[in-house]
Chain A
Amino acid sequence: MAPFDPRLVTRVGPTRPLLLILATLHAASAALVLLQALLLARLLAPVLSPTPLESDGLGALGALVPTSAREVRFGLTLLSAVVVGRAVLAWASERIAHRAGARVVSNLRSRVIGHVGSLGPRWLASGSAPGVNVLVTQGLEGLLPYFTRFLPSLLTAAMVTPLAVVMVTGLDLTSAAIVLVTLPLVPLFMWLVGRLTQTHSERHLASMVRLGSQTLDLIVGLPTLRSLGRSQGPAGRIHGLGEAHRKATMGSLRIAFLSGLVLELLTTLSVALVAVSMGFRLAGGSITIETALAVLVLAPEAYLPLRNIGLHFHASTNGIAAAEAAFALLDIPTPGRRGSEPAPNLAGLTLRLDALSIATPDGSLLAPADLTLEAHPGTVSALVGPNGEGKSTALLVLAGLVYPTSGTVTAVAPDGTTHLLSDDDTNGVEPETWSRQCAWVPQRPDLGPEGRSLSLGQRERLAVGRACESGRAILLLDEPTAHLDGQARQEVISAIRDAALRGAVVVVATHDDELMAAADLVVEARALDRAAGGTRP
Chain B
Amino acid sequence: MRGKARTAGDRRPRGSGLWGDLDLRWMRVAAAILAGSGALGSAVGLTATSAWLIARAAEMPSPADLAIAAVLVRTLGIGRGALRYAERLRSHDTSLRGVASLRTRAYERLEAGRTAQVMTLPKGEIMARIGADLDAIGDVVVRALVPLGVAVVVSATAVGIVGSQHPGAAACLAACLVVAAILPAVLTARATRISQEEGAQTDAAVSVAALSALEGATEHRVWGTTAEAASLLDDANARQEQARESAARPAALAAAIHVLAAGVALVTAVLIGIAAVTSGDLTGPAAAVVALTPLAAFEAVGALPAASAQASRSRAAAARVRGLFESAGLNRSEPSLRPSPAPADDPDPRAAFPLELDRVRAAWPGGTPTSPVDARLAPGQVIGIIGPSGIGKTTLLLTMCGALPPVSGEARISGRRVTPADTGIRIAMTAEDAHVFGTSIIENLRVARGDVTHEEADRVLALVGLGPWLARQPEGLDTILGSGGLSVSGGERRRLLLARVLLHPAPIHLIDEPGEHLDEAGTDIVQAIVEESRAAGRSLVIVTHDHALLKVVDTVVDLGKVG
Which residues in A have some Cβ–Cβ distance to B below 8 Å? Answer: 40, 43-44, 47-50, 72, 76, 79-80, 82-84, 86-88, 90-92, 94-95, 98-99, 101-103, 106, 109-110, 113-114, 116-118, 120-121, 124, 129, 132-133, 136-137, 144, 209-210, 213-235, 238-239, 242-243, 245-246, 249-250, 253-254, 257-258, 260-266, 268-273, 275-276, 278-280, 282-285, 289, 292-293, 296-297, 300, 396, 399, 401, 432, 435-436, 438-442, 444-446, 448-449, 451-452
A227 to B506, alpha carbons, bound, how many Å? Answer: 11
Most buried by A among B100, B110, B287: B100
Q: Does B150 contact A (CB under 8 A)?
A: no
CB pair A238–B103 under 8 Å, yes or no, is yes
By a CB distance below 8 angstroms, the chain A residues around B351 are none
By a CB distance below 8 angstroms, the chain A residues around B428 are 227-229
By a CB distance below 8 angstroms, the chain B residues around A118 are 217
Q: Mark B9-48, 1 if CB is under 8 A from A, else 0.
A: 0010000000000000000000000000001001100110
Q: Mark B399-420, 1 if CB is under 8 A from A, else 0.
A: 0010000000000000000000
CB pair B89–A254 under 8 Å, yes or no, is yes
A133 to B291, alpha carbons, bound, how many Å? Answer: 55
Q: Does B537 contact A (CB under 8 A)?
A: no
Known: A98-B251, A282-B58. A227 touches B119 (CB 8 A): yes
CB pair B435–A221 under 8 Å, yes or no, is yes
Q: Does B469 contact A (CB under 8 A)?
A: no
A268 to B291, alpha carbons, bound, how many Å? Answer: 20
By a CB distance below 8 angstroms, the chain A residues around B82 are 261, 265
A438 to B476, alpha carbons, bound, how many Å? Answer: 58
A509 to B169, alpha carbons, bound, how many Å? Answer: 85
Known: A44-B288, A446-B212. A245 touches B251 (CB 8 A): no
By a CB distance below 8 angstroms, the chain A residues around B284 are 47-48, 50
Q: Does B256 contact A (CB under 8 A)?
A: yes
Most buried by B among A216, A233, A260: A216
By a CB distance below 8 angstroms, the chain B residues around A271 are 46, 50, 77
CB pair B219–A268 under 8 Å, yes or no, is no
The listed residue (B43, B58, B484) touching A48 by CB distance below 8 A is B58
Q: Does B327 contact A (CB under 8 A)?
A: no
CB pair A296–B439 under 8 Å, yes or no, is no
CB pair A261–B221 under 8 Å, yes or no, is no
CB pair B245–A440 under 8 Å, yes or no, is no
Enumerate the 3 nearest inter-chain pairs by beta-carbon distance, A residue then B residue, closest first.
Answer: A229-B424, A242-B100, A272-B77
CB pair B216–A448 under 8 Å, yes or no, is yes
CB pair A238–B249 under 8 Å, yes or no, is no
By a CB distance below 8 angstroms, the chain B residues around A223 are 118-121, 123, 431, 434-435
The listed residue (B85, B92, B207, B500) touching A260 by CB distance below 8 A is B85
CB pair B111–A257 under 8 Å, yes or no, is no
CB pair A80–B58 under 8 Å, yes or no, is no
CB pair A273–B74 under 8 Å, yes or no, is yes
**Closest Cβ neighbor of A432 among chain B residues:** B221
The listed residue (A117, A217, A245) touching B96 by CB distance below 8 A is A245
Q: Mark B493-535, 1 if CB is under 8 A from A, else 0.
A: 0000000100010100000000000000000000000000000
**Closest Cβ neighbor of B221 among chain A residues:** A435
A120 to B221, alpha carbons, bound, how many Å? Answer: 9
The listed residue (A219, A227, A276, A280) touching B434 by CB distance below 8 A is A227
Q: Does B264 contact A (CB under 8 A)?
A: yes
By a CB distance below 8 angstroms, the chain A residues around B203 are 137
Which stretch from B228-236, B354-362, B542-550 is at the chain A interface?
Answer: B228-236
CB pair B259–A87 under 8 Å, yes or no, is yes
Some 8 contacts from A to B, beta carbons below 8 A apart, are A50-B284, A80-B263, A83-B266, A91-B255, A137-B210, A222-B121, A296-B51, A296-B292
CB pair A249–B50 under 8 Å, yes or no, is no
Which residues of chain B (66-83) have a CB below 8 Å from chain A?
66, 69-70, 73-74, 76-78, 80-82
CB pair B104–A220 under 8 Å, yes or no, is no
By a CB distance below 8 angstroms, the chain A residues around B69 are 279
**Closest Cβ neighbor of B124 among chain A residues:** A220
B270 CB to closest chain A CB, in angstroms?
6
A226 to B257, alpha carbons, bound, how many Å? Answer: 55
B83 CB to closest chain A CB, in angstroms?
9
CB pair B222–A399 under 8 Å, yes or no, is yes
Known: A94-B255, A129-B215, A261-B81. A285 touches B60 (CB 8 A): yes
A234 to B295, alpha carbons, bound, how many Å? Answer: 54
CB pair B46–A268 under 8 Å, yes or no, is yes
B104 CB to closest chain A CB, in angstroms?
4
By a CB distance below 8 angstroms, the chain A residues around B61 are 283
A118 to B227, alpha carbons, bound, how many Å? Answer: 12
The listed residue (A219, A229, A231, A283) touching B126 by CB distance below 8 A is A219
Q: Mark B86-103, 1 if CB is under 8 A from A, else 0.
A: 001100110011011101
CB pair B88–A296 under 8 Å, yes or no, is no
**Closest Cβ neighbor of B108 among chain A residues:** A235
A430 to B215, alpha carbons, bound, how many Å? Answer: 24
By a CB distance below 8 angstroms, the chain A residues around B257 are 87
By a CB distance below 8 angstroms, the chain A residues around B241 are 99, 102-103, 106
By a CB distance below 8 angstroms, the chain A residues around B295 are 297
CB pair B217–A48 under 8 Å, yes or no, is no
The listed residue (B291, B429, B431, B504) touching A44 by CB distance below 8 A is B291
By a CB distance below 8 angstroms, the chain A residues around B488 are none
**Known A133-B215, A219-B106, A448-B212; further 12 A-B contacts with Cβ < 8 A:** A82-B263, A87-B260, A94-B256, A103-B241, A129-B214, A217-B483, A222-B126, A227-B423, A229-B425, A280-B66, A289-B58, A449-B232
CB pair B97–A214 under 8 Å, yes or no, is no
A284 CB to closest chain B CB, in angstroms?
8
CB pair B66–A283 under 8 Å, yes or no, is yes
By a CB distance below 8 angstroms, the chain B residues around A224 are 431, 434-435, 447
By a CB distance below 8 angstroms, the chain B residues around A83 are 259-260, 263-264, 266-267
CB pair A260–B84 under 8 Å, yes or no, is yes
A44 to B69, alpha carbons, bound, how many Å? Answer: 20
Q: Does B248 contact A (CB under 8 A)?
A: yes
By a CB distance below 8 angstroms, the chain A residues around B59 are 50
CB pair A242–B222 under 8 Å, yes or no, is no
The listed residue (B97, B118, B240, B256) touching A102 by CB distance below 8 A is B240
The listed residue (B63, B230, B450) touching A283 by CB distance below 8 A is B63
CB pair B424–A246 under 8 Å, yes or no, is no
By a CB distance below 8 angstroms, the chain A residues around B562 are none
A469 to B208, alpha carbons, bound, how many Å? Answer: 27
Which stretch from B151-159, B272-280, B311-319, B552-560 is at the chain A interface?
Answer: B272-280
A98 CB to closest chain B CB, in angstroms?
4
By a CB distance below 8 angstroms, the chain A residues around B46 are 268, 271-272, 275
CB pair B291–A88 under 8 Å, yes or no, is no
By a CB distance below 8 angstroms, the chain B residues around A216 are 127, 130-131
A441 to B222, alpha carbons, bound, how many Å? Answer: 9
B330 CB to closest chain A CB, in angstroms?
13
Known: A296-B51, A446-B212, A446-B216. A50 touches B58 (CB 8 A): yes
B489 CB to closest chain A CB, in angstroms?
18
**Closest Cβ neighbor of B287 among chain A residues:** A47
A265 to B257, alpha carbons, bound, how many Å? Answer: 30
A129 to B263, alpha carbons, bound, how many Å? Answer: 52
A435 to B224, alpha carbons, bound, how many Å? Answer: 9
CB pair A228–B252 under 8 Å, yes or no, is no
By a CB distance below 8 angstroms, the chain A residues around B103 are 215, 219, 238, 242
Most buried by B among A76, A262, A271: A271
Q: Does B144 contact A (CB under 8 A)?
A: no
Known: A280-B70, A436-B224. A253 touches B92 (CB 8 A): yes
CB pair B74–A276 under 8 Å, yes or no, is yes
CB pair A48–B55 under 8 Å, yes or no, is yes
The listed residue (A226, A261, A441) touching B84 by CB distance below 8 A is A261
B290 CB to closest chain A CB, in angstroms?
10
By a CB distance below 8 angstroms, the chain B residues around A129 are 214-215
The listed residue (A80, A213, A276, A451) touching B484 by CB distance below 8 A is A213
A114 to B213, alpha carbons, bound, how many Å? Answer: 8
Q: Does B331 contact A (CB under 8 A)?
A: no
